[in-house]
Structures are given as structure tokens and as C-alpha cells.
């Protein structure tokens, strides 16, 4: 019985620690989004078709706005210590990367 309680305590501790680790994935996702935005911005600048260039630039602007919101929400999460803001920031960073990579 004592062994079971020890094993459960360790499992719960690891689970809580893993939750904190995953909650702080925002900066990595934001970095990846910013890299995709830089590539998309460069590619948009080289486009000759006006309509395609306009769409690409619009996607880049949306992606930049999403990354900015993600960074603000990450700061809020750090200040308030509320995990929900990390999850919002992660979602925004993922959406920014997707918008930048949209063709």
C-alpha cells in the first residue's frame, strides 16, 4: 500500500510538472511563426502577379497581428500565472504560422 501511494504521488508530481512545461511553449511557437512570417514576407515581395501579391501581403499582416496578440497574452500569462493565457497565446501563434504559410 505504501508503495502504491508513493508511485501515485510521483505520477501526480510528474503530471503537474509536465503541465507547466507545456504551458510555456508560447515563445517557441512565436519564434516559429515569426520565421514563417519572414519567409512569407520575402516571397510576397518577389511576386509579380498583383492579386497573388496582395493576398500574400494580407496573410502576412494577419500573421503579424496574431503574433503580436500572442506575445501580449503570453506576457499576461506570466504576470497573472494563469495557464489559460498560455493556451490562448499558443493558439494565436499557431494560427499566425498557418496564416503566413497560406498560399
Domain that holds residue 56: 24-101
Distance CA 22, CA 17 (A): 9
Predicted TM-score of the model (pTM): 0.75
**Is residue 46 included in any domain, yes or no?**
yes
Ranges of the chain whose pLDDT falls below 50: 4, 6-8, 18-19, 21, 23
Structural domains of the chain, count: 1
C-alpha cell at 45: 515581395
**Is residue 73 included in any domain, yes or no?**
yes
Of 49, 54, 39, 22, nearest in space to 96 by CA = 39
pLDDT at position 7? 45
**Is residue 50 included in any domain, yes or no?**
yes
**Is residue 45 included in any domain, yes or no?**
yes
pLDDT at position 13? 55
Amino acid at each position: 500500500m505504501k508503495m502504491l501511494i508513493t508511485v501515485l504521488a510521483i505520477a501526480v508530481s510528474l503530471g503537474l510538472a509536465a503541465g507547466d512545461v507545456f504551458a510555456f511553449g508560447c515563445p517557441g511557437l512565436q519564434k516559429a511563426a515569426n520565421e514563417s512570417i519572414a519567409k512569407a514576407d520575402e516571397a510576397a515581395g518577389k511576386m509579380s502577379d498583383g492579386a497573388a501579391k496582395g493576398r500574400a501581403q494580407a496573410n502576412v499582416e494577419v500573421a503579424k497581428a496574431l503574433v503580436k496578440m500572442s506575445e501580449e497574452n503570453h506576457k499576461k500569462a506570466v504576470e497573472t500565472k494563469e495557464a489559460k493565457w498560455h493556451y490562448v497565446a499558443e493558439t494565436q501563434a499557431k494560427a499566425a504560422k498557418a496564416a503566413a504559410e497560406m498560399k
